[in-house]
Amino acid sequence: MNIQRFSIKGCILGVDDPKLQATLAQIHETPERPRCLCVPGGVEMYVAHHRQFVIKRMPETGSQHHPGCPSYEPEFRQSGLGELVGEAVLESELGSIELRVDFPWTRTTGRGVPRGESQDASEVEVPRRRMSLRALTHFLFERAGFNRWSPAMEGKRNQGVLHKYLQEAAESIVVKGVALTERLYVPEPFSEAGKAATAQRRREKLAVLRPRVGLNPLALVIGEFKASDVTPLGRRVWIKHMPDAPLLMAAKAWERIERVFAPLFEARDADVGQKVRLMVVALIRARREHTYEIDVASLMLTSEHWIPVEGIHELPLVQALVDQQRRFVKPLRYDARSAASFPNALLLDAGASPVPLHVVSAYLDPKEQAAKALALKSGDDTQWIWRTNESMPELPARARP
């Protein structure tokens, strides 16, 4: 589609209209709602104010927009997010989101792990779903728009963009009563000329780790893995754009990470003809002053353009979509048992409905194979299927404007 247009107080304004900001200021915090005109009749939206006035989707209306609209969002059931909305992802008011997670924000010094259950309990709490560290990372990448692509993004993704948009994605998110922006650190782009100022800003940001009265706060670091090396005290883990601040970890703990995430480490050496990024997602604490130790860690694979992928079998499809200048969304797994249940991508420029794109790899384990077979069986005639032991079929044609 062309420029996104809105109906506001009887006028039609494009997203690039110079009058838009003044018009949005008039209706901000009033019952008036803009309507996105990407489909007949429009879709109701709301006005928020951050650094400027912006028009945002109403909750759970993303799939009502045209697939070519920037405000389009797939139905929750087409990714692992569907299992979390309403339990681990709660939108209490417009734009304000509470995430319930299964990891701590603070470690308590000297407190043992409780054993057994209390014998005089007066209530029983119903267990509720909580997000893992991986799911939180997927939520941030999706909220920041890194799981979607349009031709206009070519050449515009870099470390600075990653830093900016992940930090902005954390705004209005609360985790365990704490604003996520207070605890999230994404490295700034490194430059030799600006390294002192960058390091000072990092130290100021991570000052939140200072212990207080037996409590050791944790912070979340998201960055691209560079290398690890052995020291007499354990491992140093190096993150790109943080060449002066390694993350420390016990040797046995890092060896376990290498075993658990072996396929992701191996993907960096795979013969795929394109760059693969391995992202480290780590909860850290201060071992000593300005000395950062990994408490909990997860890893995530992405394409060269920071599009999260489940494995290297998805990379040729993602690269073909980028090379052919297509618009698409990459559904993310979150905490779903299997990623094979979802399309590997949703094509957004082939008509009034998104087209599910499926990749069937012979290297998927039997459970994943079964999950993908079930997904294909329950799909409709519009779905596109590529079995990787055959040549990739042509992608569905673009719809005419």
Tell me: the pLDDT tens digits for 283-303? Answer: 999 988 889 999 999 999 999
Is the four-CA dihedral 397, 398, 399, 401 of positive or negative sign?
negative
Q: What tokens does 200 get?
A: 């000072």
**Which amino acid belongs to residue 226?**
K
Edge to edge, what strands does the sheet with 53-57 contain?
11-14, 5-8, 35-36, 43-49, 53-57
Is residue 97 within 8 A of residue 125, CB to CB? The reply is no
Alpha carbon distance 288, 276 (integer Å): 34
Q: Where are the alpha helices (DSSP H) in 158-279?
A: 159-169, 180-183, 195-205, 251-260, 262-267
Q: What pLDDT does residue 112 have?
A: 45
d(CA 220, CA 133): 9
Query: What contacts 114, CB < 8 A, 6 or more positions away?
Result: none
323 vs 47: CA distance, rounded Å? 35
Q: 30-49, pLDDT tens digit by residue?
A: 999 999 999 999 999 999 88
Q: What local confidence, expressed as pLDDT, does residue 122 receive?
A: 67
Nearest one of 181, 182, 217, 227 to 295, comparing CA atoms = 217
Q: Report which DSSP code applies to 211.
A: -
Per-residue model confidence as pLDDT tens for the chain (401 residues)? 568 999 998 899 999 899 999 999 999 989 999 999 999 999 999 998 877 898 988 888 899 999 989 899 998 889 999 999 989 999 876 778 999 999 999 998 755 444 444 455 567 666 678 999 999 999 999 999 999 999 999 999 999 999 999 999 999 899 999 999 999 999 999 999 999 999 999 999 999 999 988 899 999 999 999 999 999 989 999 999 999 999 999 999 999 999 999 999 999 999 988 899 999 999 999 988 889 999 999 999 999 999 999 999 999 999 999 999 999 999 999 999 999 999 999 999 998 899 999 999 999 999 999 999 999 998 888 999 999 999 999 999 998 86
Domain ranges of the chain: 1-73, 133-305, 309-387
How far is Cα of residue 35 from the mean position of the Cα atoms in its chain? Answer: 27
Where is 322: in which H helix or E strand? helix 315-323
